[in-house]
Amino acid sequence: RISMENSSSVKEFILLGLSENQGVQKIYFVVFLLFYTLTVAGNLLIVLTVTSSQHLNSPMYFFLCHLSFVDVCYSSVTAPKMISGSLVENNTISFAGCIGQLFGLHFFGCTEIFILTAMAYDRYVAICRPLHYPALMSRRLCGRMVGGSWAGGFLHSTLQTLPTALLPFCGPNKVAHYFCDVHPLLHLACADTRAMGLAAVANSGVISLSCFLILVVSYVVILVSLRGKTLAGWHKALSTCGSHITVVILFFGPCTFVYIRPSSDMSKDRSLAVFYTLITPMLNPLIYTLRNGEVKGAMRKLCRSK
């Protein structure tokens, strides 16, 4: 039996980061500081552009604005601590800070998954049922979809964080990752965590995989509906979906692989985590603006007005 003193003996954790080589860590500091700066600047520019433009008022841009805001929050949960930790030998984080980071990671990550799924539905209605699009994608429905995404992310994160926070941690305290996540913390708990590990996979893994399958099915339906269309129709449909498909692959690929199975290789998991916690949020503004003339035009107008 583990006493209450033992269960609370670990007051802080040490994040091992991506590498234990100090020279490599300094390179990571420069690279990831640049990535994070571009992530925040690019996504905030998207938010400012959409909110200030009178022309970008369709549901697609409403969802894009929320996606960009979530990307800023999501990358800010892990990146600052990882960047500052690259310059110190022992990157420590308090127990409360670790649990807070775990909550934020799953809250914003799951919210992003649901928003991407909502965006896929928006593209399906726009292409497959264009005449009914204004009625089906009303402002009220879009607001409910985004609100449901935030609520779903909160519920998922609570279910992941609360059981982990109640586990006894009596040492060691070295987290084999650059942020606090469920699997690395389960390895440190002074208790049998096999059931919790399976529950974590069932929670995060099933959400990631099921939403990914919904996205795949939606785009298969879109492609089937384009049969018999002209080349111009194909080009217009694929140009509106291409950006979203790219983001889905970059985000869901690594994320699904990490959370769909009980984790044993932490070095592989933390390397893949860089993609969905930092690289994809950084690329989102580029992906959505380079292929979208309306957004680029609104950005130029915003810059001239400033």
Q: pLDDT digit string (tens) for 25-68? A: 889 899 999 999 999 999 998 998 888 887 888 898 899 999 99
Mean model confidence pLDDT for the chain: 84
Q: Is residue 148 part of a domain?
A: yes
**Can you tell me the mean pLDDT for 150-164?**
94
CA-wise closest residue to 173 among 11, 4, 285, 2: 11
Given this model, what pLDDT does residue 2 score?
39
Q: Which residues pair with 92 in a beta bridge?
A: 14
pLDDT of residue 290: 65
Sign of CA dihedral 79, 83, 86, 89: negative
Question: Would residue 306 count as lying in a domain?
Answer: no
Could you give the CA distance from residue 212 to residue 176 in angstroms, rounded to a whole number? 28
Q: Would residue 276 count as lying in a domain?
A: yes
Indicate which CATH number applies to the domain containing 64: 1.20.1070.10
Task: Show the domain range for 106.
Answer: 12-300
DSSP for residue 276: I
pTM, two decimal places: 0.87
Q: Which of 4-13, 32-41, 160-169 has the lowest mean pLDDT?
A: 4-13
pLDDT band at residue 237, thresholds of 50, 70 and 90? low
Which residue type does 187 have? H
pLDDT band at 301 (very low <50, low <70, confident <90, very high): confident
User: How many other CB atoms are there within 10 angstroms of residue 39's CB atom?
Assistant: 27
CA distances for 268 relative to 25, 66, 105, 223, angstroms: 17, 30, 18, 34
User: 3-state DSSP call for residue 291?
Assistant: coil
pLDDT in tens, 173-207: 888 888 999 888 988 888 888 888 888 888 887 88
Tell which wins on pLDDT, 148 or 1: 148
> Both tokens of residue 226?
């384009």
Residue 30 domain flag = yes
253 within a domain of the structure (yes/no)? yes
**Number of domains making up the chain:** 1
Please report the DSSP string for 163-210 in residue order: HHHTS---S--EESSSS--HHHHHTT-SS--HHHHHHHIIIIIHHHHH
Residue 6 lies in a domain: no
Predicted confidence (pLDDT) at residue 5 exceeds the cutoff of 50? no
Task: Tell me the one-letter amino acid at 274.
Answer: V
- The type of residue at 262 is P
pLDDT of 4:
38
User: 250 in a domain, yes or no?
Assistant: yes
5 in any annotated domain: no
Percent above pLDDT 70 for the chain: 90
Q: Which residue has the higher pLDDT, 259 or 139?
A: 139
Above 90 in pLDDT, residue 108?
yes
